[in-house]
Amino acid sequence: MVKFNKRVYGLIGVSSLLANWNADFTGRPKSLADGTVFGSDKALKYAMKRYWVNEGEKVLYIRSYQMNKGKLQPRELKEQYEHVFKTELKKKESADEVLCNLLSAVDVENFGATFAVEDQNISLTGVVQIGQGVNQYEDTVTEIQDILSPFRNSKKEDADASSLGKKIVSNEAHYIYPFSVNPQNYDEFIPLVDEFEGYSEEAYAKFKQAAMVGATALNTNSKSGVSNSFAIFLTFKEGEHVYLPQLDRYVAYEKVDNKNVIDVSQLNELLSPFQDQIERIEYYADPFKTEFKGNEIAVKNIYTSEFL
């Protein structure tokens, strides 16, 4: 595999219409103390992992189930490791063998891992770091829908009718996630792990694809209505060590004529001193719902990758 050795910064936009992108433990959309709705990095990573699973990739850190004495149970980490890599994790297993397996999983190669099982204590700081996705839509309202169950709750003695449930959604929300890609995070393992040559171009390509379609592909009941709305990938030339803050604070969102408008004027100002170090900037958008504002920008269709 070819080593990917370029720093990347970017943004991922996720839109939610009558859906619940990331619920808290009460079932309501996750929010800050001041009421600002946001989505955690875990929500976005889960969508990307689920997309990779559906594509047949090796994914370690995702819930899976097994039958144990007639009961359906989530696998433990050790059991998941053995299931994904088709091998038994023995006591005193060599760390390089475990590392080799871990780094062959697409989620670990991108997001890192904490692996403390059977005398192993391995911590990998992921190449891809994703921040919190703050909702930029000011008129977001939480909607609570009553749902009639077809079944009676037999645990209630006076229950003569079928029970009620609830579905909680946002009327509309638009999350913007910042991310960075630092391939050097894994360089220290190159001389330690056989056949590992560092973060690969293939791993980055899989991250990039999942970043553009993962939320759209996650079509569960609560996520129906969620989709990827835009993405920006800022790639520096190989060997350039430019360090930028999270980019979400340098773009502005507004709703204009039922379209999501992303103003990148301030982002362009931020990047102006680095033009000689930038290899390319790629803009992707849902052509029917999202557009960029700021200057003349070549934009690709987020679903087909063709220029609009």
* pLDDT tens series, the chain, 308 aa: 899 999 999 999 999 999 999 999 999 999 999 999 999 999 999 999 999 999 999 999 999 999 998 999 999 999 999 999 999 998 888 999 999 999 999 999 999 999 999 889 999 999 999 999 999 999 999 999 988 877 776 666 555 555 677 899 999 999 999 999 999 999 999 999 988 999 999 999 999 999 999 999 997 877 889 999 999 999 999 999 999 999 999 999 999 999 999 999 999 999 999 999 999 999 999 999 999 999 788 999 999 999 99
pLDDT at 162: 58
**Structural contact between residues 249 and 240, judged by C-beta atoms closer than 8 angstroms:** no
In a domain, 204, yes or no: yes
Locate 21 and state its tokens: 């992108």
pLDDT at 161: 55
pLDDT at 157: 59
pLDDT at 222: 74
**Structural contact between residues 201 and 36, judged by C-beta atoms closer than 8 angstroms:** no
In a domain, 2, yes or no: no
**Structural contact between residues 54 and 143, judged by C-beta atoms closer than 8 angstroms:** no
| Overall number of domains in the chain | 1
In a domain, 198, yes or no: yes
- Segments forming the whole domain that contains residue 140: 8-301
In a domain, 16, yes or no: yes
**Structural contact between residues 8 and 180, judged by C-beta atoms closer than 8 angstroms:** yes
pLDDT at 301: 97
In a domain, 308, yes or no: no
In a domain, 1, yes or no: no
β-pairing, 162-181 vs 142-152, is antiparallel
Locate 209 and state its tokens: 């694809």
Spatial distance between the Cα atoms of 262 and 86, rounded to a whole number of angstroms: 45
In a domain, 18, yes or no: yes
**Gap between the terminal Cα atoms of the chain:** 32
Spatial distance between the Cα atoms of 106 and 102, rounded to a whole number of angstroms: 9
Exposed / middle / buried, residue 84 (Cβ in 10 Å: 0-12, 13-18, 19+): buried
In a domain, 306, yes or no: no
